[in-house]
Amino acid sequence: MNTAPGRERSHTRRSYSKPAMKRVHLKPEEAVLGGCKITSSFGPTAVNCKPGGLNCSGQQS
Amino acid sequence: MRAEPIRPRVKAVDKRKTGEAVLPHARPGSALHLRISDIMIAVTASEAGLVLRVDEATEKFLVAPSDPDAAVAAGWGDPGEARPGDLAFNSGGIWKLYRDDTRHRFVFSSMSLGPLPYKGATFEPDFSSGEVTLRRACFQSAQGLWPLEYPLDELLLQGLLARGRGAEIHACGIADASGRGLLFVGQSGAGKTTMARLWEGVPGITVLSDDRVILRRVGGSFVMFGTPWHGEAALAEPASAPLTGVFFLEHGAANVLLPLRGAAAATRLFACGFPPFFDRAGLDFTLKFLGELVAEVPCHELRFAPDGQAVEFVETWAAGA
C-alpha cells in the first residue's frame, strides 16, 4: 500500500523541543597548547616545567 | 552474549615490510623524518654542531626518509623580536603567534630562560615548509635537541590537520582485541590515564595514546591515530584503528552510557580538541569535520567507576556496535 508523501513525513517528524543553552567547559590553558605538558622532555621547556629553571647562558636579564 | 571476534584491523607501522629503519640518532647536518597520523614531517639540521635528538615516545614515530608533507629546517640564530602590531595570538604560555604578511611566526620565550626568545619558527601559510631558529645559549647542543620540542610539534600538526586533514583530540585511544577503535575523551582529570591503565593489561589491545589522539577520515571512514604526546601513563604508539565509538568521560559510582548526538556531542568534542583559534578557515574546517564525525560515529557520555568492569562494560557495547 502506498503512503501519501505528506502522511509519511508526518510519521517521521520529530517532536518540538525548546532550544536550550548548554554551557560546555573549555580549559583554555589546555586547548591552546600554551604550557608545560611532558615533564620527561629534555629541552628548554623541560627547564620551564621546573620552578627556578636556569637562565640561558649569555642572556641579559 | 558476545559477538564473534572480528578480524583485527589495527594498523601498525610495519617497518620490516616497508624496508624502513628507525634512526637511532641523527648526526649533525642530517635529518629526522616523522610519521604522525600518516602525515610526514622532515626536520633537517641546517648546520654542523646541531645534533638532532628526539625523546623516547617520539622515537617510535621516526621513519625512513620520504616525501614530506612538511619540511622544517633548523639552525642556530637569533629568534628575534617580532613587531607587536603583527601579533595574531598570545597563548598566555610560552609562545605567541605573529603574522608576517601571510607567514606564521611562532616566538617562544620563558622567563625561566631569560628575557629573550629561546626559539622562533616561521611557516608558510599551508605549513608545508618552515624554519626554526634556536638561540644557541639556551641549548646544551652536545646532548642533542629536538627543534620541534613541545609544543611546536603539536602546533605544526595542528596547522597541517586544520587544512583539511583532521583534528587532534584530548583523549585516550584504545584499539581493542578485535581492532575496534574506542576513543575516551576528556580534559585533564577526566580519567584518560585511569582508563588507559584499565585497558593496558587486557590481552590483544593497543593503547594508541593515553592523552592525545588524532582523528582523520580515511577512505570514507573515520580513523584514530596514536601520537607521541602521551600523558602520565606514557603510552604512545604509532598505530591506528577505525573509530567505532566516542565516549566522553565522567567519573561515576557505576558504569553508565548515555547517548549523545548532534551539537551536544560536537561541542564536547570541540571543547576537548586543539583547534587553531587564530585561524578562521582552520576553525571552520574543524567544526565541520567534528560535525560530520558525530553524525557517523556513535557518541556517548560514559560515567565509569575506576575498576576493571568498565572495560567489560564498554566491550559489551562495542561488540554490539
Give the residue extent of every domain in chain B. 12-161, 166-320
Closest Cα in chain A, distance from residue B3 (Å): 31
pLDDT at position B131 is: 96
Q: Which residue of B has its CA nearest to A55?
A: B113
| Distance separating alpha carbons of residues B164 and B279, to the nearest angstrom | 13
Q: What is the mean pLDDT of residues B124-142?
A: 89
ipTM of this predicted complex?
Answer: 0.73
Quick one: cell of B221?
Answer: 571512514
Report the residue of A26, A37, A38, A40 to disrupt the B interface, i.e. the one with the largest count of B CBs within 10 Å. A38
Contact B11, B239 (CB under 8 A): yes
Q: What is the mean pLDDT of residues B176-201?
A: 95
pLDDT at position A2 is: 46
**CB atoms B92 and A53 under 8 Å:** no
Quick one: cell of A8?
Answer: 509519511
Instruction: Express each pLDDT in B25-42 by its tens digit.
Output: 444 448 999 999 999 999
Instruction: Report the relative pairing of strands B166-175 and B212-218 from DSSP bridges.
Output: antiparallel
Does the pLDDT value for residue B219 go beyond 50?
yes
Q: Which residues contact B129 (CB under 8 A, 6 or more apart)?
A: B70, B71, B72, B123
Closest Cα in chain B, distance from residue A6 (Å): 26
Q: Which residues contact B113 (CB under 8 A, 6 or more apart)?
A: A44, A47, A48, A53, A54, A55, A56, A59, B138
Q: How long, in residues, is chain B? A: 321
Does the pLDDT value for residue B261 go beyond 60?
yes
Which range among B22-31, B42-51, B145-154, B170-179 has the greatest average pLDDT?
A: B170-179
**Which chain B residues contact residue A26 at CB under 8 A?**
271
Cα distance between the two ends of chain A: 85
Q: How many beta-carbon pairs under 8 angstroms link A with B?
A: 119
Instruction: Express each pLDDT in B81-103 by its tens digit.
Output: 777 779 999 999 899 999 977 89
Does the pLDDT value for residue B18 go beyond 70?
no
Q: What is the mean pLDDT of residues B306-314?
A: 92
Contacts with A, B 265-284, CB within 8 Å: 267-268, 270-271, 273-275, 277
More confident residue, B14 or B57: B57
pLDDT at position A57 is: 57
Does the pLDDT value for residue A47 go beyond 50?
no
Report residue A20's pLDDT band, with 50, 70 and 90 as the boundaries: confident
pLDDT at position B190 is: 95
pTM of the predicted protein model: 0.86
pLDDT at position A46 is: 56
Grouping H, G, I as helix, E, B as strand and the rest as coil, residue B21 is coil
Q: A52 at the B interface (CB within 8 A)? A: yes
Does the pLDDT value for residue B218 go beyond 70?
yes
Does the pLDDT value for residue A26 go beyond 50?
yes
Q: Which residue of B has its CA nearest to A21?
A: B264
Does the pLDDT value for residue B16 go beyond 70?
no
**CB atoms A30 and B270 under 8 Å:** no
| Distance separating alpha carbons of residues B193 and B17, to the nearest angstrom | 32
The strand pairing partners of B260, in sequence order, are B299
pLDDT at position B205 is: 97
Percent of chain B topping pLDDT 90: 75
Which amino acid appears at position B258 of this protein?
L
Q: Which CATH class is domain B166-320?
A: alpha beta
pLDDT at position A10 is: 52
Report the residue of A14, A21, A24 to disrupt the B interface, i.e. the one with the largest count of B CBs within 10 Å. A24
Report residue B7's pLDDT band, with 50, 70 and 90 as the boundaries: very low
Rg (CA), chain A: 29
Closest Cα in chain A, distance from residue B291 (Å): 16
Does the pLDDT value for residue B6 go beyond 50?
no
pLDDT at position B84 is: 76
Report residue B8's pLDDT band, with 50, 70 and 90 as the boundaries: very low
Percent of chain A topping pLDDT 70: 38
**CB atoms A41 and B116 under 8 Å:** no
Q: How buried is B274 (Cβ within 10 angstroms: 0-12 exposed, 13-18 middle, 19+ buried)?
A: buried
pLDDT at position A9 is: 52
Question: Of B171, B270, B178, B273, whose CA–CA distance to B224 is shortest?
Answer: B171
C-alpha torsion angle, residues B33, B22, A40, B234 (rounded to 10): 110
Q: Which residue of B has its CA nearest to A43?
A: B145
Burial B247-270 (b: 16+ CB within 10 A, else e): bbbeeeeebebeebeeebbbbbbb
Instruction: Express each pLDDT in B247-257 by its tens digit.
Output: 999 999 999 99
* Cα-based distances in Å from A40 to B98, B143, B240: 29, 15, 24
**CB atoms B118 and A44 under 8 Å:** yes
**CB atoms B110 and A42 under 8 Å:** no
**CB atoms A38 and B229 under 8 Å:** yes
